[in-house]
Amino acid sequence: MSERTGWSRAQRRLHWAVALLVPLTLGLGFLMVELPLRPLAPKFLAYQFHKSFGVVVFVLVAWRLLLRWRRGRPAEDAGLPGWQRRAAGVVHGVLYGLLLAVPVLGYLVAASAPGQVPTMVFLLLPVPHVVGPDEARFVLLRVVHLWTAVGLVTLALGHALMALRHHAQGRPVLRAMWRG
Ligand code: HEM
């Protein structure tokens, strides 16, 4: 992996697209489970769009990781204490892990659901369920999906607050992700 002087335009766009989509998908997740079963259409659509946004998050994050592997990232701020740079590295690693794990867990929840509602990305692209329905697995995975999603958003909030703090201290981290 090489070091660059700034984030590429594609890397910046992917970062902000994921930052927008994750809270949207989370909010839709909480809303859809609360919607009544009748009328069915709003609940069905909310589930399909939740799953679609989640699939898009997975694809965009995989793309971001590919770009990062191929193009690298800008050098870290040498003015930061070593422990802060190490902590940021760990947080970023965990964020990437959760950004991939939460959609995969969501997919497994959908596939394990006894109700077997098909997964259709934006109502157009069917995603086959590679595992069959299983009540016990469904009950366990929906709890794991929920709490990893909450963990992801909490960590992302901490990450955003740290970026704002660095920005207020005059460090260029936020500017670098905004304008390159
Ligand atoms: C960034 C991505 C995602 C986030 C943040 C997220 C978040 C959530 C949240 C907060 C809930 C509500 C849980 C509850 O209150 O019980 C939920 C439920 C659910 N999610 Fe996701 N999700 C994501 C991706 C996905 C994906 C990709 C799929 C499937 C392809 C999916 C399938 C589901 C299903 C089926 C439920 C409902 C479980 C039930 O009926 O209790 N999610 N998700």
pLDDT at 4 over 80: no
Report which residue type is found at 177: M
Q: Whose CA is nearest to atom 32 of ligand 1?
A: 106
pLDDT at 19 over 80: yes
For residues 130-139, b (16+ Cβ closer than 10 Å) or e, as one string? eeeeeeebbe
In a 3-state reduction of DSSP, which class is residue 166? helix
pLDDT at 1 over 80: no
Give the separation between CA 32 and CA 40, rounded to whole angstroms: 11
pLDDT digits (tens, 9 = 90+) for 32-80: 999 999 999 999 999 999 999 999 999 999 999 999 999 999 988 888 8
- In words, the CATH class of domain 3-179 is mainly alpha
What is the CA(49)–ligand 1 centre distance, in A?
10
Ligand 1 atom showing the smallest separation from residue 113 Cα? 35
Question: What is the value of pTM for the model shown?
Answer: 0.96
Predicted pLDDT of residue 77: 81
Give the separation between CA 59 and CA 100, rounded to whole angstroms: 9
Give the separation between CA 32 and CA 82, rounded to whole angstroms: 43
Where do the domains of the chain lie?
3-179
User: Is residue 141 within 6 Å of ligand 1 at its C-beta?
Assistant: no
User: Is residue 149 within 6 Å of ligand 1 at its C-beta?
Assistant: yes
- What is the average per-residue pLDDT within 148-158? 98
Q: Of the residues 145, 148, 153, 154, which should be mutated to test ligand 1's pocket, given the most ligand atoms within 8 Å of the CB?
A: 145
Report which residue type is found at 72: G
Give the separation between CA 40 and CA 5, rounded to whole angstroms: 51
